[in-house]
Amino acid sequence: RRMRDAVIRRGSRTFEADVVHHLALSGFCLVDSELDDELLRKANDDAQRIDRFIPPPPLIVEGLLGAEGSSEVAELEHPGISQAERTDGASLHEIDSFMTEVAVTLEAFFQGGLGFECGDRTLGLLHKCGASYEDPSALTEKVAGKWLNIFRRQRVMCVVCLSRRGGTFTLEPNDGESEPEAVHVKCGDLLLLRADVLSRSFQSDDDGGMTLSCFFLQKNTSSGVRGAFVDDRLRAPAIPVVEDLVHWADSRLELIKHRQETAPGSLEDMEIPRSWKMLASHTVTKGPQIMVRGIATHVAHGCERPGKHICALSIGVDLATEVPISRWDHRQQYDPDPMCWMDKELSRGRVRTNINHAAFIEGIDMFDNKFFGMSIMESKVTDPTQRLALEHAYEALHMAGYVKKKLLQSFIGVYQGHTASDWDKIEHETGAAAGAYSPTIASNRISFALGLMGPSFTIDLEGAASLAAIYQGCHDLLPSDDFRKPLTAAGLAGGVTMNLSWYWWPVHNQFMNPVGRCFTFDEKANGYIKGEGSSLVVLKRHAETVEGKLVVEEGGVPSLGTVSGWAMANSGRTATLSAPSAPALRQVVNECVHYASISPLDVDAVQVDGKGNLMNDAVELVSLMKELRDLPGGDEEVLVLDAAKTKLGFCQETAGVAAFVSAIMASRHGHIPGALHLKSLNPHAQVDDDELQPHVPTEAVQFRCRQSFNGVTAYGMGGSNVHTLVWNQLSESAWPSSRTAEERPAIAFWPGGGGELEDSEKPKQGYSIVGSWACWDRPETMKESPHEEGVFVFDVPLGDNRFEDFQIWIDGDSEKVLCPGGAAAGSGARVMGPMPLDECDGRNWRLDGRPQAQPLRLSGAPDAVDGVQDVLNDDPLVGLPGDRYQIELRIAGKWKTVLWRRTGTVDLSRSRGRYFVACSWRNWAFDEMVYDPTAGIHYLAHLKPPSFTPGEFRIVRNKDWAQTFVPGPPGDGSSEVLGPVGPTDVEFHAHSWKLAGGVTVRIEFQREIKGESEKRKVSWRSLDQ
């Protein structure tokens, strides 16, 4: 039942393949380490002299070797320290180096055999066996973080027994049903086990016995923008010790955040690791909670939806184009002369511009007037910006769970960033329509069309307008004791901007970049390019006050993000009206951080205003770094800065909300998109402290954990500074939080058994086997082993091609087929089913005796050809035609597996098989060839293609398409015979022998096998002459 015929020898030729095979099959493997007895004795003595042993915390001990097997533990010294500084003893160091050697030897085999890439190993850990201590060491955040990282990445545990009289490991899968399995070890034995699959404990036969262990870890693929710390809780495998640690961590984070509010001093003053403080702020949010329930956006072509918006930004799409002719003929206004916009002499009554690019949207002429109760004439004369805002207003409200009937008479506020439109600067239909292009009525039109009764007004603050609208919407949603402040049910906030004519281009020319791109933070920054579009968001309170209690809406519309802080201030008196103010910017950022009850170090990223002005960009960058990172620990926390304007252009009144949507969607997708057109950083954007440098990525970078704080900054030409702080977490659709998201192959069979077979899996008559050796024609009964319970066996001769495919049927029924998880599965593959034969979809076990089918098992041979005979002698899976194999179906409780091994030889005539000709004119049906050993001709067939078409044929062994023979080029009787090939091979579909139509031919197939060599030939001749 234990399936351990012998302990694996470390020096065997097939050591690596055998170890990985056992780990994949049953999850553990016992290895004779061949360590010297004297070395083991000295190592045990050295271990007894170490005085660093401590009893581990109770939550940790179950992830080691149990309370008795790890009553005390001590880490070995780092292997990198010099021999002179080492105090642990050379013997322990040598055994520790042996475990490293095992890890290096097996590293290349883990990916293919166990499905993980080995990244590194932990330090050696000594375990002292004995009674558990009543006063174990306390579990601190630092210790919990260390072991949570190890247990998340642990894949294989390597344990060397140092106890003189050995001991017993008790292993058990983490499924709650399987029975424990006892594995007895002697001093010097090496046990390798799947640490992510099996629970384990150890009991020494000595008093105070010792073991030395380490973990082989999965390569760390999860890293934040700094890579120093990543939230491991939701990426951890679902094993008991990790579940307990995660629960402890969650409760500890709540306690940390609670202490911040109740204990004197700030969170930064507490004696807690910085990583835990950061997680506390990210996972246990305090302060105001204004939820974003709906988003509608269309900025630049290709960004018509929030999902498309973040995808375009993440992959670095350059959305700037030349002015399309559908807007206006820009050739009449464009002049490459850099001073053309200042020319006093007017050309046709207007100055020109040397700007030729912007980011445009499409579909502005499409509008459903009936839906909004507008006549055709009114919709035609209404400003397209107002029509676009109407559509996006309802789209956002609908996403938030509203319909037209529910909106009527609702107290929802409308706050829109808007300014004077170009609509009156171009030719269009005119008519009697109130406020057709007046910016003052832009927000009111939404309230009128949808029946909204909350505050409704337009904000004109240039680039800060739409973010100021979000600021005002959040403000109005907060409850207040002042009866004069209306308490809105929801807020619709955003902005809209359209470039309908060239009218304002010469006016804004001095702020725009003639190159046609926005080079935010680059040393060549020389202005922005215009963008356009509309973005609106629906804001709602996280909880409502009902009878004096806060009630959170359950089962409603999911939140897209949370506005945790918002602030607004004017620059006041500065050098010029449009000059930036560092104190004002720092003030609004500070207020947001304080409002959210977090540390400045908790802010992960900021969507900057960044209009491509050298001085303004430098002031903004330095101000953000000073405010968010110029404090203790700031040099260890990278602040990521992103600039949406490098892709979307400057959307003016829509710019703030466009960056706001970018921040929300970036947080939901777990990465910051990165800026475009950045080659060399702005020389003025330098912080005095060299260690406080920003990170301005040019490609997407990952957030450091599933939750994040993302700042958004907007600046208006008149000195308006607006900042919002968005908290968000990864979207379930983008990154599932289930720990099964990183599923690894489980073990195929547990020798200890446990659980029961389903009724459909229990046979009434027994198990049958169907395989290629019998042409897949009939099921043959498997015999129950007289030596082991639950083992069914069947002997198979290895055929000419040295492989055979098969399946197992319950009760000989083709509707109850047991098969592996994939095609051509090897020994020990997991058993699937029962299922109908037509659902197996080519999934068979393949008993393959070819050395090339075991490439990992040839690794010990000095030459792949010269070493074949040695492998035949050592490896029970490799064989020659005529060798006998025993196939075993093993059942223990709910567990099933199929194994095989070479057991002897049989008469070659039993392994020869039958050969068939498959012809194209018979729809590739099989016609058996006649065996004739005379005159060197082995197999004969007579064929006659129809007279009206040429024919093609292939030769197939035992009606098994995986054992097909085809010609090499040129495809006639002189061609080399290729094969065996199957439907997954290119040659199978590309080659076949060709015959002339209407001629009867005699096909001859000669095949001679002598040991490793083989001769094959296909020929034919006409019988009609």
Domain positions in the chain: 8-224, 291-729, 759-910, 914-1022
Helix/strand/coil for 914? coil
For residues 535 and 938, which has the higher predicted lDDT (pLDDT)?
A: 535
Mean pLDDT score, 31-39:
90
Which residue, among 920, 919, 942, has the nearest Cα to 929 in the 3D structure? 942
What whole-number distance in Å separates Cα of residue 49 and Cα of residue 924?
Answer: 77
* Tally of CB atoms within 10 A around 87: 11
The vertex-466 CA angle with 319 and 453, nearest 5°, equals: 130
CATH no. for 914-1022: 2.60.40.3620
Which residue, among 158, 57, 56, 40, has the nearest Cα to 99 in the 3D structure? 158
Q: Enter the tokens of residue 796.
A: 């198979």
What whole-number distance in Å separates Cα of residue 857 and Cα of residue 849?
Answer: 12
Mean pLDDT score, 468-477:
95
Which residue, among 511, 438, 417, 439, has the nearest Cα to 720 in the 3D structure? 417
What whole-number distance in Å separates Cα of residue 708 and Cα of residue 283?
Answer: 9
Q: Directed axis angle between helix 141-153 and helix 240-262, to 10°? A: 150
Q: Enter the tokens of residue 942.
A: 């007579």
373: left (phi over 0), alpha (psi -120 to 50) or beta: left
pLDDT at residue 877 in the model: 75
Place of tokens 């953000």: 624
The answer to whether 635 touches 688, Cβ cutoff 8 Å, is no
The answer to whether 436 touches 428, Cβ cutoff 8 Å, is no
The answer to whether 716 touches 463, Cβ cutoff 8 Å, is yes
Q: Which residues of 207-219 are buried (b: 16+ CB within 10 A; e: fewer)?
A: eebbbbbbbbbbe
- 630-644, 758-772, 895-909: least confidently modelled range: 895-909
The answer to whether 22 touches 28, Cβ cutoff 8 Å, is yes
Q: Enter the tokens of residue 863.
A: 């030459």
Residue 606 makes CB contacts below 8 A (sequence gap 6+) with: 624, 628, 639, 640, 641, 642, 710, 711, 712, 713
Q: Enter the tokens of residue 94.
A: 């040598």
Instruction: Evaluate if residue 552 carries a pLDDT over 80.
Output: no
For residues 124 and 864, which has the higher predicted lDDT (pLDDT)?
A: 124
Instruction: Evaluate if residue 712 carries a pLDDT over 90.
Output: yes
For β-strands 8-9 and 28-32, DSSP reports them as: parallel
The answer to whether 900 touches 808, Cβ cutoff 8 Å, is no
For 211-228, the pLDDT digits (tens) are 999 999 988 765 443 433
Alpha helices in 288-420 (DSSP H): 306-314, 376-381, 384-399, 404-407
Q: What amino acid occupies position 81? A: I
What whole-number distance in Å separates Cα of residue 908 and Cα of residue 888?
Answer: 23
Which residue, among 605, 737, 735, 621, has the nearest Cα to 682 in the 3D structure? 621
User: From the centroid of its chain, how far is CA 76?
Assistant: 35
Strands (E), 275-356: 290-299, 321-322
For 832-890, the pLDDT digits (tens) are 989 999 998 889 999 998 876 554 443 333 333 333 444 445 567 788 888 899 999 99
Which residue, among 644, 662, 656, 696, has the nearest Cα to 521 in the 3D structure? 696
Which residue, among 157, 977, 317, has the nearest Cα to 644 in the 3D structure? 317
Q: Enter the tokens of residue 498.
A: 């359209």
Strands (E), 525-651: 533-541, 543-546, 549-552, 561-570, 605-607, 640-642
Instruction: Evaluate if residue 272 carries a pLDDT over 80.
Output: no
Q: What is the DSSP string of 341-352?
A: GG-SS-BTTB--
Residue 487: exposure state from Cβ atoms within 10 A (0-12, 13-18, ≥19): middle
For 631-650, the pLDDT digits (tens) are 888 888 889 999 999 999 99
Q: pLDDT category, 248, cuts 50, 70, 90?
A: confident
Q: Which CATH fold topology does 759-910 show?
A: Immunoglobulin-like (2.60.40)
For β-strands 72-75 and 198-204, DSSP reports them as: unpaired
Q: Do domains 759-910 and 914-1022 have the same CATH topology?
A: yes
pLDDT at residue 880 in the model: 85
What whole-number distance in Å separates Cα of residue 668 and Cα of residue 732?
Answer: 9
- Which of the 8 DSSP states describes residue 930? E
Q: What average pLDDT does the chain have? A: 85
Q: Which CATH fold topology does 291-729 show?
A: Peroxisomal Thiolase; Chain A, domain 1 (3.40.47)
Strands (E), 4-99: 8-9, 28-32, 72-75
What whole-number distance in Å separates Cα of residue 77 and Cα of residue 93?
Answer: 9
Q: Enter the tokens of residue 743.
A: 């599923």
- 350-354, 514-518, 592-596, 712-716: least confidently modelled range: 350-354
pLDDT at residue 843 in the model: 92
CA atoms within 13 A on the CB side of 501: 14
Helix/strand/coil for 923? coil
CA atoms within 13 A on the CB side of 685: 27
pLDDT at residue 344 in the model: 52
Mean pLDDT score, 649-673:
93
For 316-353, the pLDDT digits (tens) are 888 999 999 989 999 888 988 888 877 655 444 557 89
Mean pLDDT score, 665-687:
89
What whole-number distance in Å separates Cα of residue 983 and Cα of residue 146?
Answer: 50
Percent of the chain scored above 70 by pLDDT?
88
Q: Kind and range of the H or E element at 833? A: strand 831-835
What whole-number distance in Å separates Cα of residue 583 and Cα of residue 572?
Answer: 10
- 84-93, 158-167, 195-204, 418-427: least confidently modelled range: 418-427
Alpha-carbon dihedral sign for residues 675, 680, 683, 688: positive
What whole-number distance in Å separates Cα of residue 809 and Cα of residue 840?
Answer: 12
What whole-number distance in Å separates Cα of residue 538 and Cα of residue 559?
Answer: 10
Q: What amino acid occupies position 800? A: D
Q: pLDDT category, 625, cuts 50, 70, 90?
A: very high
Which residue, among 731, 733, 735, 726, has the nearest Cα to 708 in the 3D structure? 726
Q: Enter the tokens of residue 907.
A: 């008469």
Instruction: Evaluate if residue 556 carries a pLDDT over 80.
Output: no
Is 8-224 a domain of CATH 3.40.1160.10?
no
Q: pLDDT category, 256, cuts 50, 70, 90?
A: confident
Instruction: Evaluate if residue 948 carries a pLDDT over 70.
Output: yes
The answer to whether 61 touches 202, Cβ cutoff 8 Å, is no
What whole-number distance in Å separates Cα of residue 656 and Cα of residue 507?
Answer: 22
CA atoms within 13 A on the CB side of 856: 16
Instruction: Evaluate if residue 656 carries a pLDDT over 70.
Output: yes
